[in-house]
């Protein structure tokens, strides 16, 4: 008999998948691709663009949750749920991109997202849960790296991220476009779900997600190459949008980022249910984590190849920012990291994890799980600042700082940026 707590963990895994990837349409019986009207789900989507002063130089982010700022409300993880105020960096309005709420519910464009570099006018057009194509995830609209879709009920045209980019490019002066895409096209949240369920299964039916046939297919060389092709198309669409808005090649810069490792390979908790689920919020087997990391490295190669090919076909240079090791030593459940309610306030910057734990209790959400938290967003911001120097973009690898406790004048960690040869 499966223990009740294990059933709850499996339910959490399912919720994580449904929430992050938008498969709730299946759970609610809504046909995939249907347009569902939901009061307040979509506000004034153009407001994030129209508030930018005309002619102003701007930098902009496009893509998915790893650049929108998902998880960015929280400054580390807590051991006890009631201690959440100690980790609450931005409060309930963390993901508002208007004065009264989200312009698109669920996009979770965090106020502390990496695109918000000091001294720059930043516009965050990314959306948590986005893939290369616009879609509806249950009752949430997810603009993709395209020009949107038509509401089959109202007939209204709903913009994609490139629709908004075009509007911005014609209103302001876009200097930099930063892009993160591919993880949801790979169906990474489903892979996470499978791994959590595998961890929750008791002996003698225990399993490892790396041996799961659907997971292996999604992380196969062939599928990752297919994801790379979608990334290439997305980059080419970005370039076509900018060119159609009157920008010449080289007049602006493009940076594409890869995905960071989020779970520690050297875990501070034993491979037990109580250790990794109840205590750590990292219910994964070490061997599964190592195998997934090896496949994410293949995805990083596919993204790099996509960037090179898109640059060749469009004539617009593309820089690649490799984020693989940016959280090293402060990944979820890393040996040297700690929960923020177990250490003095003065040690939070030095010792807190940079990735949100798997959790479902309020005020946390399942969507935030395994995403860079507020401190993680600051590390990503430091990487972007290193890749975008004096108005010039450059490719390189952004590694974790030697000392997480040291920050620069802007309060950002001193990451190590190694330029590409």
Domain boundaries, the chain: 4-419
Domain 4-419 class, CATH top level = alpha beta
Asked whether the predicted pLDDT for residue 183 surpasses 90, the reply is yes
Specify the pTM. 0.91
Find the range with the poorest average confidence among 30-34, 49-53, 256-260, 263-267.
30-34
C-alpha Rg value of the chain to the nearest Å? 20
Residue 226 has pLDDT above 90, yes or no: yes
Compute the average pLDDT of residues 77-105: 95
Compute the distance between CA of residue 307 and CA of residue 311 in angstroms, rounded to an integer.
6
Is pLDDT of 24 > 60?
A: no
Looking at the predicted structure, is the pLDDT value of residue 6 above 80? no
Cα-Cα-Cα-Cα torsion 144, 145, 148, 152, nearest 10 degrees, comes to: -40
Considering the chain, what percentage of its residues have pLDDT values greater than 90?
Answer: 79
Q: Give the C-alpha distances (Å, rounded to integers) separating 6 from 170, 196, 358, 376.
A: 53, 10, 14, 29
Q: Where are the alpha helices (DSSP H) in 274-331?
A: 286-314
Residue pair 117/131 in contact (Cβ under 8 Å)? The answer is no
Q: What is the pLDDT of residues 329-388, one digit of tens each?
A: 999 999 999 999 999 999 999 999 999 999 878 899 999 999 999 999 999 999 999 999
What pLDDT does 30 receive?
26
């Amino acid at each position: 008999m499966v223990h009740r707590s294990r059933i709850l963990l499996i339910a959490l895994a399912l919720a994580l998948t449904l929430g992050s990837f938008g498969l709730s349409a299946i759970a609610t019986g809504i046909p995939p691709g249907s347009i569902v009207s939901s009061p307040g789900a979509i506000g004034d989507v153009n407001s994030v663009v129209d508030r930018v002063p005309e002619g102003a130089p701007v930098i902009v982010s496009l893509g998915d949750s790893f650049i929108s700022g998902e998880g960015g409300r929280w400054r580390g993880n807590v051991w006890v749920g009631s201690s959440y105020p100690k980790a609450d960096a931005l409060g309930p309005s963390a993901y508002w991109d208007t004065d009264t709420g989200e312009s698109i519910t669920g996009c979770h464009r965090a106020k502390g997202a990496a695109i918000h570099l000091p001294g720059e006018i930043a516009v965050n057009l990314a959306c948590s849960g986005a893939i290369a194509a616009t879609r509806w995830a249950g009752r949430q609209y997810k603009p993709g790296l395209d020009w949107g879709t038509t509401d089959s009920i109202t007939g209204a045209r709903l913009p994609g991220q490139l629709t908004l980019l075009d509007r911005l490019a014609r209103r302001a002066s876009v200097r930099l476009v930063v892009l993160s895409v591919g993880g949801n096209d790979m169906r990474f949240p489903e892979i996470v779900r499978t791994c959590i369920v595998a961890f929750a299964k008791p002996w003698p039916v225990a399993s490892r997600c790396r041996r799961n046939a659907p997971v292996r297919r999604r992380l196969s060389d062939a599928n990752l190459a297919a994801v790379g092709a979608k990334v290439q198309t997305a980059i080419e669409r970005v370039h076509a949008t900018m060119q159609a808005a009157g920008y010449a090649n080289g007049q602006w810069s493009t940076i594409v980022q890869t995905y960071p490792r989020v779970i520690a390979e050297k875990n501070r908790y034993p491979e037990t249910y109580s250790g990794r689920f109840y205590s750590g919020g990292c219910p994964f087997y070490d061997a599964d984590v190592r195998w997934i990391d090896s496949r994410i490295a293949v995805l990083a190669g596919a993204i790099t190849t996509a960037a090179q090919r898109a640059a060749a076909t469009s004539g617009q240079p593309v820089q690649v920012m490799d984020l693989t090791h940016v959280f090293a030593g402060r990944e979820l459940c890393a040996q040297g990291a700690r929960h923020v309610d177990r250490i003095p306030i003065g040690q939070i910057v030095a010792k807190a994890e940079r990735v949100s734990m798997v959790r479902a209790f309020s005020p946390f959400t399942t969507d935030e799980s395994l995403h860079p938290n507020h401190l993680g967003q600051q590390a990503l911001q430091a990487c972007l600042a290193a890749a975008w120097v004096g108005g010039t973009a450059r490719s390189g690898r952004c590694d974790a700082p030697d000392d997480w406790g040291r920050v620069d004048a802007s309060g950002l960690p001193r990451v190590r940026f190694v330029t590409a040869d």
